[in-house]
């Protein structure tokens, strides 16, 4: 019987630790900030969030400079310096691919048609295509 009790306690601890980890991904920005279509300021603005908005952090790229977030029904990237309580080790490290990420989240955006010009992001010599000014705040 004591082995059964030990197993139940161990399972409860695993569930509680999972809940704590899930809670660690919910945060608020430290100020109003743009949510971008990739982990760099050259990417188009998807939306903007206020310091009062609750967002969910899906993960951050290696180095924890930019984080993939869900803000309401929108998804994109915010620089970690604008996110409260995002601590390395408490959120997963994720990778970014323009093609995969944009296919998943941005097919209806007007700049999606220029996806091929963005695929080289991060490679030496790549330059961002020009964008018309967004109405979102900088």
pLDDT values of the chain reduced to their tens digit, one per residue, 138 residues: 555 444 444 443 333 334 434 444 899 999 999 999 999 999 999 999 999 999 999 999 999 999 999 999 999 999 999 999 898 989 999 999 999 999 999 999 999 999 999 999 999 999 999 876 544 444
Could you please report the per-residue DSSP string of the chain? Answer: -HHHHHHHHHHHHHHHHHHHHHHTTEE-BSS-EEEESSSSTTSPEEEEE-TT--EEEEEE-TTSSEEEEEETTEEEEEEGGGBTT--BTTB-B----HHHHHHHH-TTSGGGGGHHHHTTTTSTT--PPP-PPPSS--
What is the value of pTM for the model shown? 0.77
Q: Are the C-beta atoms of residues 64 and 87 closer than 8 Å to each other? A: no
**Which tokens hold the place of 83?**
């996110």
Residue 132: predicted pLDDT:
60
Residue 135: predicted pLDDT:
44
Residue 130: predicted pLDDT:
84
Give how far Cα 38 sits from Cα of 27, 29, 35, 84, 94, Å.
19, 17, 9, 20, 12
Residue 127: predicted pLDDT:
94
Residue 98: predicted pLDDT:
97
């Amino acid at each position: 019987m004591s082995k059964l009790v030990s197993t139940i306690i161990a399972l409860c601890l695993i569930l509680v630790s999972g809940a704590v980890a899930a809670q660690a991904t919910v945060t608020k920005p430290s100020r109003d900030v743009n949510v971008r279509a990739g982990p760099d300021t050259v990417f188009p603005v998807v939306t903007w969030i206020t310091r009062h908005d609750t967002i969910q952090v899906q993960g951050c790229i290696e180095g924890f400079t930019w984080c993939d977030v869900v803000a309401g029904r929108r998804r994109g990237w915010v620089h970690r310096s604008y996110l409260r309580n995002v601590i390395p080790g408490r959120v997963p490290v994720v990778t970014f691919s323009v093609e995969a990420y944009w296919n998943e989240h941005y097919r209806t955006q007007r700049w999606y048609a220029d996806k091929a010009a963005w695929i080289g992001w991060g490679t030496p010599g790549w330059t961002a295509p020009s964008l018309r000014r967004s109405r979102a705040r900088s």
